[in-house]
Chains A and B, each alone.
Chain A
């Protein structure tokens, strides 16, 4: 039997068995030293080599090159984790293809060996192969052209600034606030000594928890529809809007902002945003129309209490030292 054909059967069967049977076993939820995808891949490659040695197979150079290339493809497509974006995949495959070509052209003999079946197909010594390849390829090219030209319409991508630069001052309920240096009047405990206190339970015991309770009450009457009962931006209305509401549990939102920034955003809402933040599609209402100043500060206090974050604060030393 043709050694190349035998090798093809061995190769395909090995990959099939490994991918369908062993791959799920080697990718458990808790990956260990041996039970991981990379050792699975190494074992698979060794299995292919071992089978070829044991069966004394020496397939044609062109097929060997194809095998090497295919193993690289398999690695980048299924083994490498986490999965990579397709642009990176193409780049890696280009490098891998160059590597495969180096393997082919390591010396003139292997290169000629690699070339031989291709030349034989072109000149017609392999009649069947020539017929198949030369009729199929033009059709493939035609189909590819059709696919590439067929118009596909996708929703346009719009970029926006999530946390725009706040203005220097903001006027709320007739009073002008300078955002720089503005702190929450209800934050009476800077040391966060309230972790074991709870709204309603301890509201009467500590002033701080009273404010948190009042803030939470306002939050659950107004804000949770979008920002969610868990403050994770997954409220009942959240999926309706684009951009989706802010997730306060995420370290990229209130954890890295000052309370005065939140005060400005809460008071002015979506319509108060600058153009780069697409104010026209932000569903955040200007809450100054519905809440008084104290309620807004208390909501902010509640958001920090609930998520356990501490607001970004001013460095008192440099602030008193007159700026930078």
Chain B
């Protein structure tokens, strides 16, 4: 009964705390910085030199062995500049801020959540040791005041993990605030961080604005990616060391929540893997059967599905679409995670694109398949020498593969060749530093087909069968619509022939021209599967009716049998078992 008591006790305390919270007006307060806890430094030092030193360096200068190969670079502690805080701009953080950062990690960077590995007292110890690495100021200095702001509370009372149900008016009002405060100058017109290509942090390293449509990469998301509080905190406190200022004087607390509602509404709701802090990969790209021809423009309703998982948001087709196509024939927009190619040659440790979204349809009438590949890239190349590229990779000789066998996932291998469809493009009249252009940019597109028999044996094919029927670069998002006939002449037996109703391995590659990526210096995915889904055969409807009727017949037989037995009892032909009724 002990634990039951405990339960009620906690409940009582919670009620009391709530009552106090209602009675006292929320105020912000200033206090001296949290002094260093001297007694845990020895323990903290040991943890630091086992776990942290590799990135943050021996003296905390953010210059450990790993630092040069990371983007974003590890934090330099020396100046006491910490990004994620509840204190004012330029001030030292609370100890609690640092503890939360170490516990939850910084998603989208190499900083992992240490709460899984270290105990609470170990985290406190290492945080206190890190405080001693700050040289330019001191946590023990009584002049170092920290001012904790009042962030208000979530006005809509939404809950995690997805924080759905924020009213549309609040989101719309947030958009007004977004425009009024010119957030688009850095974050871009649709929040993909594509506003300003020239930003630097306090140490002169290049830095980019957050992509609001990938909120799982928000550094301060504290593993609660869709919580608007994270955004309110950042707007209120700014990010020390970066060009992100605070807006606490320009925007009222109520308005900050509305702005946060807008920012959060942009981020697609997907099932997030709690270990990786990224959306779960959609390992099967179903190509939806389409009656008649497939639309050849990206803006067609046939291709305009949301990124969010409809199961989470309850998204439905528009009525016009439902009328024309019915509701079952919507392809899923698949999330494909990408990594840098670090196996061979010039390796890519910091790819600028870490995911693609792929949607597919196929048409029996056209005997062709379409893949719409989309990805966020803040800035495209302006240099014809370094064109942006994205590619789909297939086993070239699908029919010869046995079981799970596939070619090597990057450029194939000597025995098993791959066939690559590559779109290589430059945006027309594009300047990365120009103001956001809502209608987007047309792309100067070149389609190539390649064959790979390993890294050193990649050749460009002469004849190109694959087409890119539509493409666009809109507000930091590239959209490329590939089309190819299912079968080709295939004279040299090195072109993939796409069968129906069969699982086909497929992989993706992407090169950012602005980052000077070319050849093996690229972003890659692993093998995925795609399948050309058949149309739903009408026979399943007949079969359902036939089974239903057959069962009804069986029921009739049962009634007839039971009645007959009854009658036989009544007429005395059969003797009922002699038990008292």
Contact = CB atoms under 8 A, between A and B. Distances in A.
A286 B413 CA distance: 14
B1 A34 contact: yes
A68 to B, nearest CB: 23
Interface string B271-300: 001011010010110100000000000000
A216 B54 contact: yes
B41 to A, nearest CB: 13
A122 B566 CA distance: 11
A134 B553 CA distance: 10
A156 B544 contact: no
Interface stretch (B62-70, B90-98, B432-440): B62-70
B459 interface: no
B525 A240 contact: yes
Contact of A141 (B58, B111, B116, B547): B547
A159 B404 CA distance: 9
A219 B53 CA distance: 13
Given A28-B3, A306-B50, A230 B548 contact: no
A283 interface: yes
Contacts of B58: 200
A222 B416 CA distance: 28
A146 B344 CA distance: 51
A270 B544 CA distance: 49
B413 A271 contact: yes
Interface string A217-257: 10111101100111010111111111000000000000000
A232 B105 CA distance: 15
B529 A281 contact: no
Contacts of B273: 239
B562 interface: yes
B527 interface: yes
Contacts of B477: none
A271 B534 CA distance: 35
Contacts of A155: 283-284, 503, 529
Q: How large is the interface on A (under 10, 10 to 19, 20 to 34, 35 or more residues)?
A: 35 or more
Contacts of B53: 199-200
Interface string B143-159: 00000000000000000
B569 to A, nearest CB: 11
B409 A153 contact: no
Contacts of A242: 281, 283, 526-527
B526 A283 contact: yes
Nearest to B580: A109
Given A149-B543, A237-B339, A281-B527, A216 B65 contact: yes
Contacts of A200: 49, 53, 58
Contacts of A281: 406, 409, 526-527
Contacts of A224: 54, 66, 110
A158 B528 CA distance: 12
Contact of B540 (A150, A158, A269, A289): A150
B560 to A, nearest CB: 10
A289 B563 contact: no
Contacts of B527: 242, 280-281
A103 interface: no
A34 B6 CA distance: 14
A275 B540 contact: no
Nearest to B46: A198
Nearest to B47: A198
Contacts of B343: 269, 283, 285-286
A276 to B, nearest CB: 10
A155 B334 CA distance: 13
Contact of B340 (A34, A229, A237, A286): A237
Contacts of A217: 54, 65
20 contacts: A25-B4, A109-B579, A112-B579, A122-B559, A139-B548, A142-B547, A144-B547, A145-B543, A219-B54, A220-B66, A224-B66, A225-B340, A229-B112, A234-B112, A234-B275, A235-B110, A236-B109, A239-B273, A283-B526, A306-B50
Please provide the 9 A-B residue pairs with the shortest distance between their CB atoms, ordered closest to farther. Answer: A142-B548, A239-B276, A237-B339, A198-B49, A285-B343, A220-B66, A220-B54, A240-B339, A217-B65
Given A225-B349, A242-B527, A280-B527, 6 more contacts: A142-B547, A153-B533, A198-B49, A216-B54, A234-B112, A271-B408
Interface of B: 1-4, 7, 45-46, 49-51, 53-55, 58, 64-66, 69, 109-112, 114, 116-117, 273, 275-276, 278, 281, 283-284, 286, 337-340, 342-344, 349, 404-409, 413, 416, 503, 524-527, 529, 531, 533-534, 536, 540-541, 543-545, 547-549, 551-552, 555, 558-559, 562-563, 566, 577, 579-580
